[in-house]
Chain A
Amino acid sequence: MARIIVVTSGKGGVGKTTTGAAFAMGLALRGNRTAVIDFDVGLRNLDLVMGCERRVVYDFVNVINGEAKLNQALIRDKRCQDLYVLPASQTRDKEALTKEGVGRILDELAESFDYIVCDSPAGIERGATMAMYYADDAVVVTNPEVSSVRDSDRMLGILASKSRRAEQDAEPIKEYLLLTRYSPQRVKVGEMLSVDDVQEILSLHLLGVIPESMAVLNASNRGVPVILDEESDAGQAYADVVARYLGEDLPHRFLEEQKKGLLSRLFRG
């Protein structure tokens, strides 16, 4: 039985797709058969962040409409054999995602995958509500910034009332907080909400903190999930996040300002 994870946030630009790509890659690197689905119909971008944009033939909506088989649309990652990408349609509108259709595809994926990661679009419209509807777990991606925190709280309300688990009175979706674009320097001088502040306001279990990092843009430029940049702070932070999700008890890192040594100052800028 596959576990369905939605990566959601409400607000756009906080790092959902970066997180979806890194998280799915992290799960697959540990030997779990993982599928990652782009729910952003009309504005697909997961393919670009994953570096498989030139291999898209069929998409999620084609499969829902029976125009293609699931295994024709799934793109196998070239770096990790256990990872598959299901791209969103670029031409249809989001109404093409029906509750019944999405449920059918997820059921079919669940037969052969361990984890299904649903990369939600921003907002609270069809794509976003469909991405979360069937979820077992939710990773709520939040920036330490007022509008993002508020929108995350709004998403928590929707997760608790409009998901399948809520409708069927089943055990609620497990919600995790992922704080991204965190800048310990700015927190230190009182210019940014701290991880404790955000956690207290949202009262959520903290899955991890991803520091603001040059590595994220560098990785998406190249179409490489940032978790594969093992040297980078963000890559390591995402590796920790996956480990924690799978039950490892790891201390949170990158919460304090990184002291740069003289050598790293000289050689890495």
Chain B
Amino acid sequence: MGLLDFFRSPRQTSAAVARERLQILVSHERSERNKPSYLPMLQEDILAVIRKYVAVDPDAVTVTMEKQHNREILELNVVLPERTVKRRRSYART
């Protein structure tokens, strides 16, 4: 090992990179295939209900199903549009 190597950040081994990539990929693919088949329809219905009251983007609603140990978590995420009213800035200084 040269003197310069001492200052470089230690390089990850290729096996460590493989492990990380696989962990991410496998957990993603598992969650995809464990999705209940009604999820896209549920997402559409929820979006329709929300749009009756708030003008949100079609992609503002995401529904995900996660399994942790022996319970399932249905996660609903709605991004509301930002308010058009500008906030007043306070110029107060201390």
For residue B3, CB closer than 8 A to chain A, the reply is no
For residue B25, CB closer than 8 A to chain A, the reply is yes
Q: How far is the CB of A239 from chain B (nearest CB, A)?
A: 28
A150/B19 contact (C-beta < 8 A), A157-B33, A190-B13, A191-B14 known = no
Residues of A within 8 A of B92 (CB): none
A201/B19 contact (C-beta < 8 A), A190-B13, A191-B13 known = yes
**Contact pick for B15, options A154, A187, A202, CB 8 Å:** A187
Residues of A within 8 A of B23 (CB): 200-201
Residues of B within 8 A of A153 (CB): 26, 29-30
A154 touches B19 (CB 8 A): no
For residue B21, CB closer than 8 A to chain A, the reply is yes
CA distance A190 to B16 in the complex (A): 7
Chain A interface bracket (under 10, 10 to 19, 20 to 34, 35 or more):
10 to 19
CA distance A190 to B26 in the complex (A): 21
**Contact pick for A154, options B14, B21, B29, CB 8 Å:** B29
B15 touches A150 (CB 8 A): no
Residues of B within 8 A of A194 (CB): 15
Interface residues of B, count at CB 8 A: 14
CA distance A140 to B29 in the complex (A): 18
A202/B26 contact (C-beta < 8 A), A190-B13, A191-B14 known = yes
Residues of A within 8 A of B21 (CB): 146
Q: How far is the CB of A114 from chain B (nearest CB, A)?
A: 34
Residues of A within 8 A of B16 (CB): 190
User: Please, what's the 1-or-0 string for B1-39, where 1 marks a CB less than 8 Å from any CB in chain A?
Assistant: 000000000000111101101110110011001000000
**Contact pick for A150, options B13, B14, B22, B33, CB 8 Å:** B22
User: Please, what's the 1-or-0 string for A185-196, where 1 marks a CB less than 8 Å from any CB in chain B?
Assistant: 001011111100
B15 touches A149 (CB 8 A): no
Q: How far is the CB of B31 from chain A (nearest CB, A)?
A: 11
CA distance A192 to B18 in the complex (A): 8
- Which residue on chain B has the smallest CB distance to residue A194? B15
- Which residue on chain B has the smallest CB distance to residue A197? B19
CA distance A146 to B26 in the complex (A): 10
B33 touches A197 (CB 8 A): no
**Contact pick for B19, options A161, A189, A193, CB 8 Å:** A193
**Contact pick for A157, options B22, B25, B30, CB 8 Å:** B30
Q: How far is the CB of A161 from chain B (nearest CB, A)?
A: 8
Q: How far is the CB of B7 from chain A (nearest CB, A)?
A: 21
**Contact pick for A192, options B15, B22, B25, B33, CB 8 Å:** B15
**Contact pick for B25, options A145, A150, A193, A202, CB 8 Å:** A150
User: Please, what's the 1-or-0 string for B46-59, where 1 marks a CB less than 8 Å from any CB in chain A?
Assistant: 00000000000000
Binding site for B on A (CB under 8 A): 145-146, 149-150, 153-154, 157, 161, 187, 189-194, 197, 200-202
Binding site for A on B (CB under 8 A): 13-16, 18-19, 21-23, 25-26, 29-30, 33
Supply 17 further A-B pairs (C-beta < 8 A) apart from A153-B26, A197-B18: A145-B18, A146-B21, A149-B22, A149-B26, A150-B29, A153-B30, A157-B33, A190-B13, A190-B14, A190-B16, A191-B14, A192-B15, A193-B18, A193-B19, A194-B15, A197-B15, A201-B26
